[in-house]
């Protein structure tokens, strides 16, 4: 078995600096809401930009998750939620199943369901944003739940939303980025370029069709793939869209077959991804046509639903990058995950662990510990601290955030092929035959 991986460094924009003075009232008026325990300047949470999250002595710091924890994609969101739980567990430096504390306070989670939909992002984001005790949120699972929905709702309240698995390029574009949004997942501008290079140069296929489920994630990947694939000299023979709730794809596949593609790229979520793989076998004119998905498909549900039809199905997805991943912590984390939750069901639990830890690190930098044992956390200062993250040795890689919230300074993608429905997913990643290698920066991808 030949192993090769795709290593790509993300170009890093300017890093924001946290200024302690931003946490203090500069108008000299009004009573401070609390006094700093070291006798230094006070913070007036009534006037500081976007206010503060405040917690009394002994009260828990409250955070939220907004992840897909029900329905067909529950394997994606629950897996990430487990990563957050392990982040809280490790606050005391050990994975022992006992939650640690942050600045002497317990951490309490409020878990909402993003339903992998705009409606779920709207409902869950609104519920979390309406609670002034919510400090930050790890989520969403799906780009459709964030883009123009949860990212906007939570940013308006100064509540950081850090996603472990949103990969749609638009979320961190200059035009669409919301000020309190960031992600530890990779930017799909790169994945689209890598997939196009793989199909055109490595497989040598000159004609491809695409199918997306109208989510920002899938549509972004297929449109990016088209751009890069055609620039390389390939031809996109058909561009099709489906509803994620559809179950009969044979008419669509029959129509695509008439355009004579060599490959169909379908970076959708399950069950649609698995059902298309299965139903394509029943279309005679698709005999010999290769199929490929991305990390939306990459879950144990694909194996369960596609069965033998998964054999030969190509898949791209993120794997752990160099950096913190070379330490013993990743091994310890993987053992703790397996011990507490069993085998991972998706790829993003380490990204969720890292997202929680970026928040915890920012809290430590921005919080003001008051003489009565309470803490005040200015929201803008906390977000500035998150975006100032540089060379953080995370489990998903070395993280450096740029000004629009991309925190993967070095990202890695694995392109593999399923060999049998019994092939396991180890450590949350596809354990099939990794077969492709390419190095690419985000700047190069966005520059075309």
* DSSP structure string for 150-215: IHHHHHHTT--EEESS---GGGGSTTT--TTEEESSPPHHHHHHHHHHIIIIIS---EEEEEE-SS
Q: What is the pTM of this model?
A: 0.78
Strand partners for 417: 314
Q: Which tens digits make up the pLDDT trace of 17-45?
A: 232 333 333 333 333 333 333 433 467 88
What average pLDDT score do residues 400-405 get? 94
Residue 6 has pLDDT above 70, yes or no: no
- Reduced to 3 states, what is the DSSP secondary structure of residue 263? strand
The predicted structure's pLDDT at residue 189: 85
- 99-108, 225-234, 343-352, range with the lowest pLDDT: 343-352
Q: Say how many residues make up the chain.
A: 448
Burial of 403 (0-12, 13-18, 19+ CB in 10 A): middle
Q: What percentage of the chain reaches a pLDDT higher than 90? A: 65
Strand partners for 137: 64, 161
Name the residue with higher pLDDT: 419 or 363.
363
Reading phi first (left if > 0) and then psi (alpha if -120 to 50, else beta), residue 183 is in beta
Cβ-Cβ contacts under 8 Å for 227 (sequence gap 6 or more): 192, 196, 448
What average pLDDT score do residues 269-296 get? 94
Q: How far is CA 10 from CA 186, 289, 316, 407, 446, in A?
A: 9, 33, 18, 9, 11
Give the integer Cα–Cα distance in Å for 172 and 12. Answer: 13
Encoded tokens for 243: 């509803």
Residue bearing tokens 């830890």: 357
Give the integer Cα–Cα distance in Å for 35 and 39. Answer: 7
- Peptide bond just before 140 cis, omega within 30 deg: yes
Neighbour count for residue 303 (Cβ, 10 Å): 18
Q: Which tens digits make up the pLDDT trace of 347-399?
A: 899 999 999 999 999 999 999 999 999 999 999 999 999 999 999 989 988 89
Name the residue with higher pLDDT: 75 or 7.
75
Query: What is residue 59's DSSP assignment?
Result: P
Query: What is residue 430's DSSP assignment?
Result: E
Residue 155 has pLDDT above 80, yes or no: yes
Neighbour count for residue 116 (Cβ, 10 Å): 29
Give the integer Cα–Cα distance in Å for 423 and 253. Answer: 26
User: What structural domains does the chain harbor?
Assistant: 57-187+326-388 (3.40.50.2300), 189-318 (3.40.50.2300)
Give the integer Cα–Cα distance in Å for 32 and 44. Answer: 5
- Reduced to 3 states, what is the DSSP secondary structure of residue 35? coil
Encoded tokens for 371: 């003489």
The predicted structure's pLDDT at residue 426: 37
Residue 52 has pLDDT above 50, yes or no: yes
- Reduced to 3 states, what is the DSSP secondary structure of residue 436? coil
Pairing of strands 410-417, 6-9: antiparallel
What average pLDDT score do residues 258-282 get? 95
Residue 5 has pLDDT above 50, yes or no: no
Give the integer Cα–Cα distance in Å for 394 and 351. Answer: 8
Name the residue with higher pLDDT: 260 or 38.
260
Encoded tokens for 276: 């298309």
Mean pLDDT of the chain: 84
């Amino acid at each position: 078995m030949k192993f090769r991986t795709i290593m790509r460094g993300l170009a890093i924009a300017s890093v924001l600096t946290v200024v302690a003075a931003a946490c203090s009232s500069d108008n000299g008026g009004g009573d401070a809401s609390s006094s700093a325990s070291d006798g230094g300047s006070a913070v007036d949470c009534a006037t500081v930009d976007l206010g503060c999250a405040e917690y009394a002595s002994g009260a828990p710091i409250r955070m939220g998750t907004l992840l897909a924890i029900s329905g067909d994609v529950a394997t994606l969101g629950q897996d990430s939620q487990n990563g957050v739980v392990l982040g809280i567990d490790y606050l005391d430096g050990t994975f022992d199943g006992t939650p640690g504390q942050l600045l002497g306070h317990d951490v309490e989670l409020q878990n909402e369901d993003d339903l992998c939909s705009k409606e779920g992002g709207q409902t869950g984001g609104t519920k979390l944003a309406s609670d002034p005790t919510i400090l930050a949120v790890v989520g969403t699972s799906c780009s459709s739940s964030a883009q123009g929905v949860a990212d906007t709702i939570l940013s308006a309240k100064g509540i950081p939303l850090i996603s472990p698995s949103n990969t749609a390029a638009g979320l961190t574009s200059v035009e669409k980025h919301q000020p309190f949004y960031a992600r530890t997942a990779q930017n799909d501008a790169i994945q689209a370029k890598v997939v196009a290079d793989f199909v055109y140069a490595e497989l040598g296929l000159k004609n491809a069709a695409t199918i997306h489920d109208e989510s920002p994630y899938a549509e972004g990947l297929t449109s990016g793939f088209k751009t890069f694939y055609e620039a390389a000299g390939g031809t996109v023979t058909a561009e099709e869209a489906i509803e994620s709730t559809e179950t009969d794809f044979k008419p669509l596949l029959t129509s695509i077959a008439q355009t004579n593609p060599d490959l169909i790229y379908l970076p959708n979520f399950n069950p649609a991804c698995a059902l298309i793989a299965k139903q394509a076998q029943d279309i005679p004119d698709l005999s010999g046509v290769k199929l490929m998905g991305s990390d939306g498909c990459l879950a144990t549900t694909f194996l369960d639903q596609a069965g033998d039809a998964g054999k030969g199905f190509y898949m791209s997805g993120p794997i752990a990058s160099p950096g913190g991943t070379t330490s013993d912590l990743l091994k310890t984390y993987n053992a703790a995950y397996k011990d507490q939750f069993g085998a991972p069901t998706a790829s993003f639990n380490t990204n969720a662990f890292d997202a929680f830890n970026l928040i915890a690190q920012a809290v430590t930098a921005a919080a003001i510990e008051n003489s009565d044992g309470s803490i005040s956390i200015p929201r803008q200062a906390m977000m500035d601290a998150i975006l100032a993250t540089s060379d953080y040795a995370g489990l998903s890689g070395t993280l450096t955030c740029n000004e629009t919230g991309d925190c993967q300074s070095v990202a890695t993608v694995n392109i593999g092929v399923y060999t049998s429905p019994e092939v396991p997913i180890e450590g949350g990643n596809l354990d099939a035959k990794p077969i492709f290698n390419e190095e690419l920066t985000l700047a190069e991808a966005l520059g075309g």
